[in-house]
């Protein structure tokens, strides 16, 4: 007969705290997404004839996405943490970098 007082050790993933660096990754990702939205909005508003500052915003968005991806990877090295925010940031940053690279390739082909 099994003992009724025997304690079973279950792993509770809900109570694990979020990785500390994942907050940095999420913040940097938010900045990159805001810059991306601003660039797309200004490009549509000016019908593609944008000023140099919009190009600087686009490059800054790419750099912020790369930094956010780095912080997301760095957050995965923390032990016994919940990585959901870091993984979400990494997915968004990866998609944003992919969009910028595709946009750059299309722009260079039409020169």
Asked whether 24 and 67 are in contact (CB, 8 A), the reply is no
> What are the distances in angstroms from CA 23 to CA 6, 27, 37, 70, 85?
39, 6, 21, 13, 7
Long-range contacts of 1-7 (CB under 8 A, 24+ apart): none
Per-residue pLDDT of the chain (111 residues; tens, 9 = 90+): 556 666 777 766 567 888 899 999 999 999 999 999 999 999 999 998 999 999 999 999 999 999 999 999 999 999 989 899 999 999 999 999 999 999 999 999 988
Q: What is the pTM of this model?
A: 0.82
């Amino acid at each position: 007969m099994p003992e009724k007082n025997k304690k079973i050790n279950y792993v509770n993933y809900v109570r694990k705290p979020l990785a500390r660096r994942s907050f940095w990754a999420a913040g940097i990702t938010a900045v990159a997404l805001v810059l991306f939205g601003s660039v797309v909005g200004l490009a549509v508003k000016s019908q593609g004839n944008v000023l140099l500052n919009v190009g600087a915003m686009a490059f800054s968005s790419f750099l912020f996405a790369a930094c956010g991806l780095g912080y997301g990877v760095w957050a995965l090295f923390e032990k016994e943490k919940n990585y959901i925010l870091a993984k979400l940031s990494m997915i968004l940053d990866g998609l944003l970098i992919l969009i910028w690279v595709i946009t750059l390739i299309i722009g260079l082909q039409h020169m």
